[in-house]
A and B are shown apart, each in its own frame.
Chain A
Amino acid sequence: AQKITQTQPGMFVQEKEAVTLDCTYDTSDPSYGLFWYKQPSSGEMIFLIYQGSYDQQNATEGRYSLNFQKARKSANLVISASQLGDSAMYFCAMREGQGNQFYFGTGTSLTVIP
Chain B
Amino acid sequence: DAGVIQSPRHEVTEMGQEVTLRCKPISGHDYLFWYRQTMMRGLELLIYFNNNVPIDDSGMPEDRFSAKMPNASFSTLKIQPSEPRDSAVYFCASSLRDVIEAFFGQGTRLTVV
Interface residues of A (CB under 8 A from B): 31-33, 35, 37, 43-47, 50, 52, 91, 95-97, 99-104, 106-107
- State whether the Cβ of B50 lies closer than 8 Å to any Cβ in chain A: yes
Q: In the assembly, what is the distance between CA of A4 and CA of B102, in Å?
A: 17
In the complex, 15 of the A-B residue pairs with CB atoms within 8 angstroms, ordered by the A residue number, are A31-B99, A33-B100, A35-B101, A43-B109, A44-B104, A45-B104, A47-B102, A47-B104, A50-B101, A97-B98, A100-B50, A101-B33, A101-B45, A102-B93, A106-B42
Which residues, 27 to 73 on B, are CB-close (under 8 Å) to A?
31, 33, 42-43, 45, 48, 50, 55-56
Question: B89's contact among A35, A37, A43, A50, by CB below 8 Å, is which?
Answer: A43
B31 contact set on A, CB distance < 8 A: 100
Q: How many residues of B contact A (CB 8 A)?
A: 22
Interface of A is mostly: strand
B104 contact set on A, CB distance < 8 A: 37, 44-47
- State whether the Cβ of B103 lies closer than 8 Å to any Cβ in chain A: yes
A46 contact set on B, CB distance < 8 A: 104
Taking a contact as CB atoms under 8 Å apart, the answer to whether A45 and B91 are in contact is yes
A48 to chain B, nearest CB (A): 9
Taking a contact as CB atoms under 8 Å apart, the answer to whether A44 and B43 are in contact is no
**Do A104 and B42 contact each other (CB < 8 Å), given the known contacts A43-B89, A43-B106?**
yes
B67 to chain A, nearest CB (A): 14
Q: Chain A residue with minimal CB distance to B99?
A: A33
Question: B43's contact among A33, A50, A97, A104, by CB below 8 Å, is which?
Answer: A104
